[in-house]
Amino acid sequence: MTSIVTNLGAMAAVQQLRLIGASRLESQQQVATGYRVESAKDNTAYWSIATTMRSDGKALAAAEDSLGLGAAVVGVAYSSMNFAVGVVDEIKAKLVSARERGVNLAKVNAEIVELRNELYSIADSSSFNGENWLRRSSPADDVDKQMVGSFNRDANSNVAVTSLTYSFANAQGTNHLIDDVDGKGILTSPQYARELGTDTEWVLMKGRQSVGQIEFTLNQSTTTADIDEMISVTDRMLLAMTDVASNLGSMVSRIKLQENFVIDLQDSQARGVGRLVDADLNAASARLRAVETQGKLANQALSIANASPLAMLPLLT
């Protein structure tokens, strides 16, 4: 039935144009922004998940930065401790050579003094971002060092920051190489001599502030028994330094592994977010081309529908 009052064909064409316009707008938005879900109105559940994961990604990026800083601090301490082990090993060799007959003990002592100064230089230089793990300048330096390890969210959406901890405490007092306060450092502690039961509480060095320790000194009055005691104490110190270097090396490796894990976790989260909210640009472009074609056809259909009542005019004349 043809009606000049109600043009059903035109109404259907207009309705189709509205649907095509909405579809075109959606496809244009996806092509322009690259997102299938850009805001909560597009898909509440996916948008909520993606927003939370993006927030966690920023927290993981901050954890990665903290790990990088921690790696630098630990790396400096590790390298310096390794170098110090070599210097103390050289001092041990000098002491062994001092056991030979006819050796000028004063010259050997002068060499040991220079090596001792080198140890001071190593300890002084082992600082990064204001932190020095080889030198104890105050009791505050005994506090365990905490480094951000990662950011975690459990199944109940509870969040937590995990930490990596390095402790300075050991049986002799502290893992610091040199102690300028009260003789707790590896090279400044008389505890090793006490453990060996030597007649003298030898230390390799006193630290900047002497607290009464008896520093290794070779002169013509030094006995072979004294030298033997110095060698034994030095050996114990080397063992302690080796343990510290091993712990620092393990921490360097752990931080590197944690860095790689955090980076992989960020990538995984980014891929997960992408699967939820990113648009398939190929498909979106194809849909946009299709709806543009549909729009042209709908406009033609509307033109035909609007022209239909005009066909009745010849019947009325």
- Taking only the tens of pLDDT, the chain with its 317 residues reads 555 555 666 666 667 667 766 666 666 666 667 777 777 877 888 888 888 888 888 888 888 888 888 889 999 999 999 999 999 999 999 999 999 988 999 999 999 999 999 999 999 999 998 889 999 988 888 898 888 777 777 767 677 777 888 888 877 778 899 988 887 899 999 999 999 998 899 999 987 765 667 899 999 899 999 999 999 999 999 999 999 999 999 989 888 888 888 888 888 888 888 888 777 667 766 666 766 776 666 666 656 666 666 666 665 55
83 and 137 housed in the same domain:
yes
Measured between alpha carbons, how far is 11 from 6 in angstroms, rounded to an integer? Answer: 8
245 and 316 housed in the same domain:
no
Buried residues in 98-109 as b, exposed as e (16+ CB within 10 A): beeeeeeeeebb
Measured between alpha carbons, how far is 116 from 88 in angstroms, rounded to an integer? Answer: 8
Token digits for 175? Answer: 């893992």
Measured between alpha carbons, how far is 195 from 249 in angstroms, rounded to an integer? Answer: 27
239 is a domain residue: yes
Which secondary-structure segment (H or E) carries 13? helix 8-33
Question: Cα dist. 257→220, 251, 252 in Å?
Answer: 54, 10, 9
Q: Which of 247, 262, 278 corresponds to the end of one domain?
A: 278
9 and 96 housed in the same domain:
no
Question: Cα dist. 293→102, 217, 290 in Å?
Answer: 105, 96, 5
95 and 13 housed in the same domain:
no
155 and 27 housed in the same domain:
no
Residue 94 structural domain: 64-278
Q: What is the DSSP string of 184-201?
A: -STTT-THHHHHHT-SS-
Buried residues in 40-67 as b, exposed as e (16+ CB within 10 A): eeebeebbebbeebeebbebbeebbebb
77 and 110 housed in the same domain:
yes
Total domains in the chain come to 2
285 and 272 housed in the same domain:
no
